[in-house]
Structure 1
Amino acid sequence: MIRQVSVDDRLLHGQVAFYWTSYYNLDTILVLNDEAANDEFTKMILGLAKPREVRLQIAEVEAGFEIVQKQLESPENVLIIVGSLFDANQVLEHFHQLKTLNLGGLRMRPNGKILNERTALTSEDIAICRRLLERKITITVRHSPEVTESLLNENGLKQL
């Protein structure tokens, strides 16, 4: 069962690895990221960041669709992490049964607009969020389970 799809440009780090793992009782963390899937050093670092008892899978975004399909029907608790809203949109367009997306962390980039202390959105990100909202995808903004969940909506996007 896919417990969450999350966008975090750092992919897998302490907050994700430990807080979300215990919150969802995760069996698997699936990182869908083209660069990470093709970089042995990054794969090694991500492997060190995960809890020992949790399996880590790393795949290119589109190549990972087969893994996602299997996990949808699995009793395992799975967290999908992507590094960008563009990648999240690809996953959510392909798997219409996934109806929520969490913005866990997107650092400031050129022309970014600050959403909160851990998330900045570019104009391209804002356009993707609008398309997701039009498709009735619920967008939450939480960097850890302890943070009160906030929802991103069209009004929030207009303020950016």
Structure 2
Amino acid sequence: MTSMTGGCQCGRVRYTAEITDDDAYLCHCRMCQRATGGVSIAYKNVPVDKLTWESGPDWHRSSPIAHRPFCSACGTPLGFGFIEDGGNIDITIGSFDDPCRFRPTQHYAVESMHEAWIDTRDLPRMRSEENESVTKRWMEACGKTPD
């Protein structure tokens, strides 16, 4: 078991999760698409008793059966959980401080999957620092680019 930390973009919400494996999944359901503004969301399923909120999130009751933790200060979506009998909770992969260890092992809610967004390996690629306009804005604003 590995202890991993994470939180929102602004740092107001922080958590520690005990992780036993690298398995994660992509959810394509319409509710997750709307909740995140993305075509899918990557989650790590964690037992509720293995997750500690160091500084708690806000909660949005997104349906009659579920609620979602998020940060009301910066808007970061942090997960998904069932209201009743929620022994596990899904934590957003991108909210972990070091998300690179996780690997997707399945797709969920494939009826809403946008296939064109699944295999993007042949698309042109650009590193952040190659975008001169954005780099210039960051340097003028705070003297460095973000992590």
Query: How does the TM-score come out when normalised to structure 2?
Result: 0.27
Structure with higher helix content: 1
Structure with higher strand content: 2
Larger Rg: 1 or 2?
Answer: 2
Query: How does the TM-score come out when normalised to structure 1?
Result: 0.26
